[in-house]
Structure 1
Amino acid sequence: MSVVTLTVSDDEADIRLDRWFRRHYPHLTQGALQKLCRTGQIRVDGGRVSTSTRLAPGQAVRVPPIPQASRPPPVTHRALDERQVREIRRMVIYSDDQVIVLNKPAGIAVQGGPGITHHIDGLLDGLKDQPDDPRPRLVHRIDRDTSGLLLLARTPGVAAKLAASFRSRDVRKVYWAVTVGRPTPASGVIDQPLTRLGAGAGAIMVVAGRRDKDAVHALSEYEVLDAAGRKLSWLALSPLTGRTHQLRVHCEALGTPILGDPKYGDDRAHVEGFPDQLHLHARMLDLPHPAGGRLVVSADLPAHMKDTFRQLGFAAPAAPAPQRT
């Protein structure tokens, strides 16, 4: 074993050093990587770096001798059958050589977990155009019960660029929701910090006191687009921060929980005569395209929300075609 120098490829732009190593040396632990950085054995363009350093194309990464003996078996994904390939491809509403956008149905999880065997992450091989193509990567998450837009990157480098856009809040997200009750005033900003109660599958997010040391800042914009008296309302929601269940907790904090929410809102969220499913839909994404310009994509409502809109007389326009500018 000897020292080698590897060059960062164009596709690896803006990727973190630890993720770059995970891609090239998947058996190297985070602790071992941190030690190699701390002792200066790993360098980029001759300089010391940390595991969080972001890389640029053309940079030279000095890699010291790394033992191979503890390399775990590579991660494998079960081959998909034709039905599963059709399932994931039906969700695609935009695709180019860098990004894919899905309209995820309500009820399917984005990733696996205890008791979850059917999820988007497990279907991503069905989006590869060629068997040797990189596996598309999830860029962000939405709740299992939430429908709508889910952004994927075709390569790790594109995923890093898109993740940076989310971190810098250069991505605008709009959700549509039906809430029980009508917020007052009809538009505004919800500025309520959140904290987690409990652990595991039973954990919930709640509004926290501003001096709570475990509280995280959470900010959401809302606007009432239509209402059926004061019984039910159609809201446009834009999360300005990305906290778990943020919109669901913020709507509850307004006193207007989201219709059909199984986790928040108690009995108020369940209204006789309407589908007992979460009425929250990721409607629109406006983001910088990795190749330049911006991409705006919208997704049509799921069937249960269309039924509710028809009952209430809400006139939701069809999703416009994706726009790349």
Structure 2
Amino acid sequence: MPNRFLLRRILLRSPPSSSAELGGDRLFISAFQNCRSYATAETFHEDREKRGKKWFTLPPFTGTINGAALGKELSRNRSNVGRDEHTKATTALKWVTSCCPEIPRSLVQKLFRLRQVRRESSSNMEASAEGVQAIRRVAAKDSMNLGDRICLPITVKQFPNDKQEEGHCSEEEINFIRSLVLYKDPAIIVINKPPGLPVQGGIGIETSLDELAATCLSYGFPEPPRLVHRLDRDCSGILVMGRTQTSATVLHSIFREKTFGASDDVIDHPKGVLQRRYWALVIGSPRQEEGLISVPLGKVVVDNGKSDRITIVNKAQCLPSQHALTKYKVIGSSYPGFTWLELIPLTGRKHQLRVHCSEVLGTPIVGDYKYGWRKHKDWKPVALSKIECHSNEKLPKRKNLPFDLNMDSGSISENNLRLHLHSKQMVLPNVSLALQSVKLHSDCDLSGLESLELVAPLPSYMQRSWDITNSGFDKGDITNS
């Protein structure tokens, strides 16, 4: 039996940098090269047949893409990007969680704490004379090297079969959520979000899109789709989600960089890598048919702390603020009292478009009772002409959709208005192709990467308002102007 006190003293006297670079077990081997017979107590030279009964092996480590760096470069439309710029150091814990997303992170961490995780290193110094590689204990924070394989206890492999389903949706609900999909590839999934469906859960929210996506939109992927940006609950239109942790990181970086570089885009890049276009019906008409809104926005607490609202922050106010930029252009409607606008947000601030329309242009969005309540307090529905009334009677009355959603009612011809704000178009880089290029080529040119162009149709009630405001009308039939 080896002298444990002697071994401990030698271990403590070894340079700390070696431990950080090579991991605890490699330090042990390097410290006791002359005592290799003693070191076998910490190694597991089992043959393949016996090992298979105790462990199951994850795929070899091939390097992890730095999604944040890749997203940043895509936003800058940079060419000749090397693979090394987009790779990052990965710990054993991160590699296990990325390979086995179905295993709870708490269980993976417990396995590391109990020292039940092994690594089969690609280093030649760890191969035995017979050519059988040793598997050694590995710590959660140890860095992975190319070709390394992680071995987990075989009992953990049975866990996914015993786990309970995260959510329960009927077949009708699943089919409805999947009918919203506009586009999907191995990296992203895009849906046309219906109005009235919250994007994220919270207090008083029973059903949210992120929870439904995990149940209905995984399509066999081991990971659920992840949110990378948000839309207001009553807003509709294009919503992009990442299908893997890496693609979600890339997308999140693209959206973030778009906001940070908004001022530069206006001057140097009028057609940015990420372009978002919203359609909105507003009450009134702006003084100019197109322009750029550039004002800071801040949050104020109202109702004795029960709620908050976004407002324009003046220089004299001592409030934290964020600069917000929005391009706008009139796109249709000569109907008295209403105007259709195309809104292009260059930054991504909370309620940015709603506040800019209401407080800067003086034309609140139809159905926005929070920021345009003054214009809505005396609201009267637009009276339809005889032809429109006749055609309206022929339209079948649809029942509510799953999750108590209704996209038919809420047009300007009704008493109860819905928010007329829709994410109509979006152009963004093809993240799936970018990830493939970085993985396959040591140097890749991303400047010529094709973009995805996405378009989402208007919800029924907004389409109805569009038809009313852009068709012929009889001025004698107008009751609200």
* TM-score of the two chains, using structure 2 as the length reference: 0.52
Give the equivalent residue in structure 1 for 2:380: 272
1:10 deviates by 4.1
1:262 deviates by 2.6
- Kept in 2: contact 1:262–1:277 (CA 8 A): no
Distance in 1 separating the partners of 2:146 and 2:277: 37
Give the equivalent residue in structure 2 for 1:129: 219
Structure 2 CA distance for partners of 1:245 and 1:86, relative to 1, 3 Å: same
1:81 deviates by 2.5
Distance in 2 separating the partners of 1:128 and 1:268: 43
Q: Does 1:205 align with 2:346?
A: no
Q: Secondary structure at the match of 1:115?
A: coil
Give the equivalent residue in structure 1 for 2:464: 307
Distance in 2 separating the partners of 1:235 and 1:86: 33
Deviation digits for residues 170-201 of structure 1, max 9, x if unmatched? 31100000000001111101111111111777
1:289 deviates by 1.1
1:80 deviates by 2.7
1:7 deviates by 5.3
- Kept in 1: contact 2:333–2:470 (CA 8 A): no
Q: Which has the higher contact order (CA 8 A, sep 6+)?
A: 2
> How many residues are paired up?
277
Deviation digits for residues 86-140 of structure 1, max 9, x if unmatched? 121011011122211100111111111111111111111211222x521111111
Give the equivalent residue in structure 2 for 1:295: 452
Structure 2 CA distance for partners of 1:157 and 1:59, relative to 1, 3 Å: farther
Q: Does 1:191 align with 2:280?
A: no
Distance in 2 separating the partners of 1:59 and 1:193: 50
Which shifted more, 221-230 or 94-103? 221-230
- Superposition map of 1:154-165 within 5 A: 154-165=243-254
Q: Secondary structure at the match of 1:300?
A: coil
Give the equivalent residue in structure 2 for 1:14: 68
- Superposition map of 1:1-325 within 5 A: 3=24, 9-10=63-64, 13-14=67-68, 26=105, 77-124=166-213, 125-130=215-220, 133-169=222-258, 170-198=273-301, 202-210=307-315, 212-253=318-359, 254-269=361-376, 271-273=379-381, 274=412, 275=414, 276-290=417-431, 291-292=433-434, 293-313=450-470
Structure 2 CA distance for partners of 1:223 and 1:128, relative to 1, 3 Å: same
Structure 2 CA distance for partners of 1:184 and 1:98, relative to 1, 3 Å: same
1:14 deviates by 3.3
* Residue type at the aligned position of 1:79: H
Deviation digits for residues 29-49 of structure 1, max 9, x if unmatched? xxxxxxxxxxxx96879xxxx
Q: Which runs of 5+ in 2 are unaligned?
A: 1-22, 27-59, 70-87, 99-103, 110-139, 149-162, 259-272, 382-411, 435-449, 473-481
- Kept in 2: contact 1:11–1:155 (CA 8 A): no
Distance in 1 separating the partners of 2:306 and 2:340: 29
Give the equivalent residue in structure 1 for 2:397: none
- Kept in 2: contact 1:44–1:59 (CA 8 A): no
Distance in 1 separating the partners of 2:189 and 2:219: 12
- Kept in 2: contact 1:209–1:215 (CA 8 A): no
- Kept in 1: contact 2:64–2:89 (CA 8 A): no
Distance in 1 separating the partners of 2:363 and 2:329: 13
Structure 2 CA distance for partners of 1:59 and 1:246, relative to 1, 3 Å: farther
* Residue type at the aligned position of 1:127: L
Which shifted more, 225-234 or 142-151? 225-234
Distance in 1 separating the partners of 2:239 and 2:24: 41
Deviation digits for residues 46-101 of structure 1, max 9, x if unmatched? xxxxxxxxxxx9699xxxxxxxxxxxxx9973233312211210110111222111
Deviation digits for residues 209-249 of structure 1, max 9, x if unmatched? 13544011111110011233551000000111100000000
* Residue type at the aligned position of 2:234: D
Q: Secondary structure at the match of 1:218?
A: strand
- Kept in 2: contact 1:93–1:103 (CA 8 A): yes
Distance in 2 separating the partners of 1:307 and 1:94: 25
Distance in 2 separating the partners of 1:8 and 1:14: 18
Q: Secondary structure at the match of 2:68?
A: coil
Structure 2 CA distance for partners of 1:26 and 1:309, relative to 1, 3 Å: same
Which shifted more, 241-250 or 205-214? 205-214
1:9 deviates by 4.3
Give the equivalent residue in structure 1 for 2:115: none
Deviation digits for residues 271-312 of structure 1, max 9, x if unmatched? 421141100000011001111421010100011101111111
Distance in 2 separating the partners of 1:241 and 1:138: 18
* Residue type at the aligned position of 2:363: T
Residue identity over aligned pairs, in percent, reads 33
- Kept in 1: contact 2:277–2:423 (CA 8 A): yes
1:8 deviates by 7.3
Distance in 2 separating the partners of 1:216 and 1:58: 43
Larger Rg: 2
